[in-house]
Amino acid sequence: MKQRKNSMALPAILGGEPTLAGRFPAWPVAGPREYKNVRTVLKSGQWWRGSGTAVGVFEKRFAKVHGAPYGLAVTNGTHALELALRALKVGPGDEVIVPAMTFAATAMAVLIVGAKPVLADIDGDTWCISVEDVARKMTGRTKAVIPVHFAGQMADLEGLERLCDPRGVAIIEDAAHAHGARRNGYAAGSRGAASAFSFQNFKLMSAGEGGMLLFTDGNLFEASRLIGNCGRPFGDTSYAHLLPGSNFRMGELTAAVLNAQLDRLGTLGKKREINAGNLSNLLKDFEGIKVQSRDKHTGRHAYYMYIFEYDEACFEGLSRDQFVMSLQAEGIPAYRMYPALQDTAFYKTAAQADLRSDEDAPLSRRKAARGVWLHHRVLLGKKQALGQLADAIAKIGKSAGKIASMRQGA
């Protein structure tokens, strides 16, 4: 393991001083623009999207930034996926391929509409869905594929299009991690039949909750608007509920915040990408830490997470979870990776209910067991803090055996 100058200091988890307490910016960010926009909506008295203007403005602006002709603001990212599936008429008897390494909502939305989630493995370097494994998992019942732009790096959409388009299989981009991401000159959200974004509290643009669907097809956009507006056409005054729908509408106050968040998306995105490169350079010689590879086709990695695979064998048997707790004690916002979907309680229950259960996703299981992610606010701090982060890892590594013994004794 690479040794740095502060590696002899006592780790905070063993009683030493935290290396980075208070050194990273808070998240979410709120400034004068958020306050001004919210005050404007409050004073207007039009807090509902049916009578206000903030949601409509946000839809158009967000869609334009991501190169999509249509945008529909909704309640949250999970509802965005569910609404896209419903608009595509995915339901019982259909299969939808999702990566085994993703947040649970990607598969839950498939279950909610009555379809079967089928799990594909990921690429071990990029952590994005494997096109080759998608091809293996396809059947005559496959109706859609949901690639996740994992941690902010876009999946291989060109490869998926070559596979899906001739078969009439829809691609729904799960871009919850990928606001502003780009690949081969195009933006996240600009290629799929539908693309879902999230504005939950941790996301790269946040209003606490909220979601967006982007579309390349006007008919699918209109179908989604109808379903998400209780089956009622926008502007209707005669209660013409044309089909069973639900209320997925975003409110004006949420859009007011997000219009301000969108103003700084590009600036923060550039800063995250620069600092991610700096951090990767600092960590490149650490044994036992394998950072997510940058795909050669990536134009802009959004860096919702800074992720790496951790090998406890290089840290004297210090477990991944103990390592994460040690990072947290140093003041680093670190988290263990999502579980592989096939190992979650909800998926096991669904599989028992006669849903297809594909458990051959070994790379996803490996990343789930070894993966560590750092909150993107780490990449918004000063360059000096990145060096201190590397020092903290070296410090933990120097005392890894002691930490492992302490935690095992506890």
Which residues fall within 8 angstroms of residue 277, CB to CB, at 6 or more apart? none
Q: Pick the catalytic residue: 174, 295, 358, 391?
A: 174
- Which of these, 346, 378, 305, 16, lies nearest to 151 by C-alpha position? 305
Locate 247 and state its tokens: 């209320």
CB-count burial class (<10 Å; 0-12, 13-18, 19+) for 77: buried
3-state SS assignment for residue 119: strand
Q: Would you say residue 119 has pLDDT above 70? A: yes
Q: Would you say residue 295 has pLDDT above 90? A: yes
Give dist(CA 383, CA 394) in Å, integer.
17
Mean pLDDT over the full length of the chain:
94
Residue 360: the pLDDT is 79
Give dist(CA 98, CA 95) in Å, integer.
10
CATH of 12-28+265-409, one of 3.90.1150.10, 3.40.250.10, 3.10.150.10, 1.20.1050.10: 3.90.1150.10
What ranges do the domains of the chain cover? Answer: 12-28+265-409, 32-263
| Class at the top of the CATH hierarchy for domain 32-263 | alpha beta
Cβ distance 197 to 58 under 8 Å? no
Confidence of residue 8 (pLDDT cuts 50, 70, 90): low
Report the phi/psi class of residue 347: left, alpha or beta, with left for phi > 0 and alpha for psi in -120 to 50.
Answer: alpha
Residue 361: the pLDDT is 93
Q: Would you say residue 203 has pLDDT above 80? A: yes
Could you give the dihedral angle defined by the CA atoms of residues 345, 350, 351 and 352, in that order, rounded to the nearest 10 degrees? 90
Q: Would you say residue 222 has pLDDT above 60? A: yes
Compute the average pLDDT of residues 307-326: 98
Q: Would you say residue 336 has pLDDT above 70? A: yes
Confidence of residue 62 (pLDDT cuts 50, 70, 90): very high
Q: Would you say residue 15 has pLDDT above 90? A: yes
Compute the average pLDDT of residues 169-193: 98
Q: Pick the catalytic residue: 66, 116, 137, 177?
A: 177
Q: Pick the catalytic residue: 79, 143, 203, 225?
A: 203
Q: Tokens 């071990």 — which residue?
A: 124
Give dist(CA 222, CA 220) in Å, integer.
5
Active site residue 177: yes
Active site residue 232: yes
Active site residue 388: no
Q: Pick the catalytic residue: 123, 153, 182, 200?
A: 200
Active site residue 320: no
Q: Would you say residue 112 has pLDDT above 90? A: yes
- pLDDT single digits (tens) 380-407: 999 999 999 999 999 999 999 999 998 5
DSSP annotation of 215 reads E
Q: Would you say residue 117 has pLDDT above 90? A: yes
In this predicted structure, which of 40-44, 202-206, 233-237, 251-255 has the lowest mean pLDDT? 233-237
Q: Would you say residue 358 has pLDDT above 60? A: no
Give dist(CA 241, CA 189) in Å, integer.
29
DSSP string, 367-379: HHHHEEEEEGGGG
Active site residue 203: yes
Residue 348: the pLDDT is 83
CB burial string 265-285: b at 16+ within 10 A, e below:
beebbeebbebbeebbebbee
Q: Pick the catalytic residue: 5, 43, 239, 352?
A: 239
Compute the average pLDDT of residues 311-334: 98
- Looking at the DSSP bridge assignments, the partners of residue 116 are 95
Residue 353: the pLDDT is 60
Compute the average pLDDT of residues 228-239: 89
Strands (E), 199-263: 211-215
Active site residue 35: no
Q: Pick the catalytic residue: 249, 301, 365, 395?
A: 249
Residue 410: the pLDDT is 47
Give dist(CA 325, CA 12) in Å, integer.
10
Confidence of residue 409 (pLDDT cuts 50, 70, 90): very low
DSSP annotation of 54 reads H
Active site residue 174: yes
CB burial string 179-208: b at 16+ within 10 A, e below:
bbbbbeebbbbbbbbbbbbbbbebbbbbbe
Active site residue 239: yes
- pLDDT single digits (tens) 248-284: 999 999 999 999 999 999 999 999 999 999 999 999 9
Residue 354: the pLDDT is 57
Q: Pick the catalytic residue: 225, 232, 336, 376?
A: 232
Confidence of residue 356 (pLDDT cuts 50, 70, 90): low
Residue 406: the pLDDT is 81
Confidence of residue 229 (pLDDT cuts 50, 70, 90): very high
